[in-house]
A and B are shown apart, each in its own frame.
Chain A
Amino acid sequence: MSGDGKRKRYGYLVEFADVSSIIEAARRVRDEGYVKWDCHTPFPVHGLDGAMGIRMTILPWIVFGAGTAGFLTGIGMQWWMNAFDYAYRISGKPFWSIPANIPVAFEMTVLFAAISAFIGMLGMNRLPEYHHPLFRSERFRRATADRFFIAVEADDPLFDEEKTLAFLESLGGTAIEEVED
């Protein structure tokens, strides 16, 4: 909240009725050079990543790393428990032989990788999030049902009260509104 008693502006929100219009509009916002903006859609719209210029996430590498850690944990745990700390002699077999240890190592790989995919996705998306300024908008409640939105933040370096509004109005949305922070 700023000092002048008026609530700070979060940005502008433009509503679209269908997929083609939001993809077109997203391309124009991207080409205009805005950086602090986002599209909000009820389902992942194909082609929107490209239209927004989103770069590939590093999530797969996190998952790969966690999977590797899971495998090593699985192998290491079994070696520690059955071959080193409390060595079992089973059917005259050597204390340490890999094949019998593969199933558990595999399960640990999948377990670590899956948990990291879930937590990594939430973490990079900054979820869970208790509140977001966009939730103030009554109209925005349809973003999870059947409407498509573009939100441009006031923090964007290109943001200008008049010019940005005029530009967003030219995108051909079905409604536009100002959202308070």
Chain B
Amino acid sequence: MSNSSEALFNFCLRLGDSNLILGHRLSEWCGHAPILEEDMALMNVALDLLGQTRVLLTYAGEVEGKGRDEDKLAYHRDTFDFKNVQLVEQPNGDFAETLARQCFFDNYHYLLLEKLSVSSDQTLRDHANKALKEVRYHCQHSGEWIVRLGDGTEESHRRMQDAINETWCFTGELFTDTAEDRELAEAGVVALPSSLKDGWNKQLSAILSEATLERPEDVPVPAMGKAGAHSEHLGYLLAEMQFLQRSYPDATW
């Protein structure tokens, strides 16, 4: 692969893997959410993310040109080959932690897709224009829950604030530029991650203030999932998600 197609390949993996891993995390709530309507809502969001993953991983395989399809990329890679941001692999925790993670990602995702909707790459542009319509509802859903819990009872406020504080350290990675990011920005494929930060801060401030919650201090970004460095949680997630294909490679039904 040339340098530019390698950067594009990695970008598709970064967004595709983030969608895939977050979708899988959300699906762990199936049958366990606090209320039936919320169980369905989380599964609907998971399904949107999975559908979007298929487009991105299929395209990644085409860009790479080694004959890997969406399934090969999803099921036949190990932890260090996954490029998702560390935020999405964090365990579900309680409902507040799930929502903090979701709200941080949804708002980032929306802003990223907005930039991607004018990309020089047609496949990514088409993908973004379709996905934006779906992610708009994800933002509404998670944002409204943050407000409901933050501005709710003493207990729900405390737990929502704890969840925000615990999860905040994973948001720095979303806006950190790498050499590949700069290459893609120069080629007009997608704007630099750092350029999304102001918009994200504005969205989050509006949600947090409506929810009577405090915005935590930013912390330095230690290691990045998009560079292949992951927390221990991803390995356990993959062990479950990839079990069938690892035990019975290329099984179909």
Are A and B co-members of a single complex? Answer: no
